[in-house]
Copies of this chain bind each other. A is one copy, B any other.
Amino acid sequence: MSDKGLLIILSGPSGCGKDTVINELMKRDRNVVVSISSTTRAKRENEIDGVNYNFLTKSEFEELISNDKVLEYAEYNGCYYGTPIGPIDKMLSEGKDVILKIEVQGAQKVMKKLGDEVVSIFLLPPSFEELERRLRGRNSDTQEQIDSRLKIACDELKRAPYYDYVVVNDDLSVAVEDILSVFKAEKRKTKRNTKVIREVCKNA
């Protein structure tokens, strides 16, 4: 068995069901955890530090950046959003499978940085019409917000070919099974089993 956990990127347009899928994955497999992003923006009233985000000060975040301790980060409206390496390395070395829920730009930065040390999965809606229907059904967004999300979704979908795997989220349980199979198969990859091979061959 591989001792170190897997690092997995999960991306997909707003409305494709990332959060539902991740919650279900963690329920089905206790070894799966999701990495919490860090930000320097002010915590909103309904948010919890360490759940929605890890809230950092600007100087804390900038120290991480200057020490090359962030996998990827971006700046929006004068605030940093990103993924510090430290907590992820710790979870991986404990054997946890760590999901990074990041948007396509951040995902591409991580893929470039880590190469085949990271497994990338793109979650697809069954169709663009269904994505639109889901986003309109939320009732929490204005017409402008929905149109903007659809435009972004459109751009994001075009990046699906850069991921290792694509999973269609039509039936939730099928999508979750597909992703769990990816985890299992990735752990059987030869490059993650050199120790096992050596062990079996040692008296041959």
Contact = CB atoms under 8 A, between A and B. Distances in A.
A165 interface: yes
A190 B204 contact: no
Q: How many copies does the complex hold?
A: 2
A50 interface: no
A124 B201 CA distance: 9
Contacts of A164: 189-190
Interface of A: 121-122, 124-129, 153-154, 157-158, 160-168, 177-178, 180-182, 184-186, 188-190, 193-194, 196-197, 199-204
22 contacts: A124-B197, A124-B200, A126-B200, A128-B202, A158-B201, A158-B204, A161-B190, A162-B190, A164-B189, A165-B188, A166-B188, A166-B196, A167-B188, A168-B196, A168-B200, A177-B184, A178-B188, A180-B181, A181-B184, A182-B188, A184-B185, A185-B185
